[in-house]
Amino acid sequence: MQGYLCLQDGNSFQGQASQQWDAATQGEIVFFTGMTGYQEVLTDPSYKGQIVVFTYPLIGNYGINENDSESSQIQVSGVVMARCAERATHYLATTTLKAYLNKHNVPYLTEVDTRAVTKMIREGGTRQASLSNTTTTKFGVPMNNHVYKSKGAGVQTYGKGSMHIVLIDFGWKKSILTSLVNKGIQVSVVPFTQIDHLDDLKPDGVVLSNGPGNPKDVQNELPKIKKVLDHYPSFGICMGHQVIALAYGANTKKLTFGHRGANHPVKDVVTGKVFLSSQNHNYVVDEESLKDTSLVTRFFNVNDGSVEGVSHKEKPILSAQFHPEANPGPEDAEWLFDDFLKMIKLKKEEKAYV
């Protein structure tokens, strides 16, 4: 069956459509440059409401397994590929990518010139698009505030350990939780709208999670978030990084086409070292806006110079625009979790001498 990827500016691309197609699907079109990691991408809440173009020519060759999903459901609105493997060749695979998308009624297109689509996004920026069975698509108003739709309903606790961390939920990935639990830490996941009584949980520190959409969507919650940041050692990841910057008076802005993939070089201002990172974001912290705040740039993107992380001048606060939990992607930045835990221990020692 033929289908079409239609961009809001009038351009369209033809491909082979999945059989479950019964209505046009609209979303913000973005591209992902990784060769692997498609299951993590599809289930990452940060991709909620987006149509993802996979730039690697063949997607799905190792299938879908029971371990690599970042949430309990597919988050993307649609998928565009050049080719999708018919068979799953990995020994842990339980189904093929096509069967997985069909089962969850997620529309997809194959046999699309993804190189041309990616070039169009790079030149004209991310924009609304639709997957449809016709080239005459009417676009509705884009859905906003995905972050409020992605957060959990209540407090959940995982793992055991002498250290207790609260993961503030903007649409968290399973791998962030797993990275913390594997270090012998008890983790309580708390929706960002329910942090009024966070003190009752008596955490040693807080991690602000990733999440979808514009970080300014949580503007009304910033005073409460800043109160938490002022009191506890904190570590922000992706959306969490941007929220920390906003809470301390900095500004965020939208990139033309964002950073998505497992190959983005980042430089650490403190050590001078460069490492590869896994990224997924449309928005960045405006470096100029940091000048009159208590935050300074800790990491920056080698390709375009954008801010990739900040630290507080006095308080134990650190953030990363990239994903140190590395799913999907390289594990170069996993040490950031250890650095955060060291910050917590130093804070405890300071209190012990007071």
Cβ atoms within 10 A of the Cβ of 313, count? Answer: 10
Q: Is residue 18 part of a domain?
A: yes
Average pLDDT over residues 110-115: 97
Average pLDDT over residues 303-308: 97
Q: Is residue 141 part of a domain?
A: no
Average pLDDT over residues 108-113: 97
Please report the pLDDT score of residue 148 as a whole number.
Answer: 87
Q: Using alpha carbons, select from 63, 97, 64, 68 the residue that is nearest to residue 81.
A: 97
Per the model's pLDDT, the better-predicted residue between 348 and 122 turns out to be 122
Q: Do 29 and 100 fall within a single domain?
A: yes
Q: pLDDT tens-digit profile of 116-128?
A: 999 999 999 999 9
Q: Is residue 337 part of a domain?
A: yes
Q: Do 193 and 110 fall within a single domain?
A: no
pLDDT band, residue 184 (cuts 50/70/90): very high
Residue that is last in its domain, among 104, 132, 160 = 132
Mean pLDDT, the chain, as a whole number?
A: 94
For residue 253, what are the domain limits?
Answer: 146-353
Q: Whole-model pTM?
A: 0.94
Question: Is pLDDT above 80 for 354?
Answer: no
Q: Do 108 and 168 fall within a single domain?
A: no
Evaluate whether 280 touches 239 at the Cβ level (below 8 Å). Answer: no
Structural domains of the chain, count:
2
Q: Do 105 and 211 fall within a single domain?
A: no
pLDDT band, residue 20 (cuts 50/70/90): low
Q: Do 20 and 118 fall within a single domain?
A: yes
Q: Is residue 47 part of a domain?
A: yes
End-to-end Cα separation, the chain, in angstroms? 71
Which CATH number fits the domain that encloses residue 170?
Answer: 3.40.50.880
Q: Is residue 190 part of a domain?
A: yes
Q: Do 107 and 26 fall within a single domain?
A: yes
Question: Is pLDDT above 70 for 70?
Answer: yes
Q: Do 212 and 295 fall within a single domain?
A: yes
Give the residue numbers marked as catalytic: 238, 323, 325
Tell me, what DSSP letter sits at residue 103? Answer: H
Question: Is pLDDT above 70 for 352?
Answer: no
Residue 354 CB partners (closer than 8 Å, separation 6+)? none
Q: Do 122 and 151 fall within a single domain?
A: no
Question: Is pLDDT above 90 for 144?
Answer: no
Average pLDDT over residues 27-31: 96
Please report the pLDDT score of residue 133 as a whole number.
Answer: 86
Q: pLDDT tens-digit profile of 212-240?
A: 999 999 999 999 999 999 999 999 999 99
pLDDT band, residue 353 (cuts 50/70/90): low
pLDDT band, residue 349 (cuts 50/70/90): confident
Residue that is last in its domain, among 83, 105, 132 = 132
Kind of pairing between the strands at 185-191 and 163-169:
parallel
How many CA atoms within 13 Å lie on the side-chain side of 67?
7
pLDDT band, residue 41 (cuts 50/70/90): very high
Q: Is residue 139 part of a domain?
A: no
For 204-244, strand residue ranges (E) read 205-208, 234-237
Evaluate whether 228 touches 206 at the Cβ level (below 8 Å). Answer: yes
Q: Is residue 80 part of a domain?
A: yes
Question: Is pLDDT above 60 for 338?
Answer: yes
Q: Do 127 and 151 fall within a single domain?
A: no
Q: Do 173 and 68 fall within a single domain?
A: no
Q: Do 125 and 40 fall within a single domain?
A: yes
Q: Is residue 45 part of a domain?
A: yes
Contacts 24+ apart (CB under 8 A), 16-23: 16/109, 16/110, 16/111, 17/107, 17/108, 17/109, 17/131, 17/133, 18/98, 18/101, 18/102, 18/106, 18/107, 18/108, 18/109, 19/102, 20/102, 20/105, 20/106, 20/107, 21/107, 21/131, 21/133
Sign of the CA dihedral running 239, 240, 245, 246: positive
Question: Is pLDDT above 80 for 2?
Answer: yes
Tell me, what DSSP letter sits at residue 306? Answer: -
Residue that is last in its domain, among 132, 161, 184 = 132
Tokens of 328: 């999907």
Q: Do 6 and 127 fall within a single domain?
A: yes
Cβ atoms within 10 A of the Cβ of 58, count? Answer: 12
Q: What percent of the chain has pLDDT over 90?
A: 86
Which CATH number fits the domain that encloses residue 45?
Answer: 3.50.30.20
